[in-house]
Amino acid sequence: MMRKNMKAQSIMEYAVLIGVVSAALIAMSLYVRRAIQANLKTVENQINAEANETK
């Protein structure tokens, strides 16, 4: 009986660990996506500024 409880606890610990890691990856992907969009916006603004200067 004791061994069955230990196995269940181990499974629960792994499930919680996987959940925490998944949540962290999802949160990081949001920040990475926004950072990439900000860099693209900066490049776009620079290109538009250069295009307007040459007119």
Residues 10-48 pLDDT 10s: 999 999 999 999 999 999 999 999 999 999 999 999 999
7 versus 12: the higher-pLDDT residue is 12
pLDDT at 41: 96
pLDDT at 7: 86
Domain ranges of the chain: 26-55
Q: Which H/E stretch holds residue 52? A: helix 2-54
Name residue, tokens 């610990």.
13
Tell me how far the alpha carbon of residue 2 is from its chain's centroid.
39
The pTM of this model reads 0.60
pLDDT at 55 over 80: no
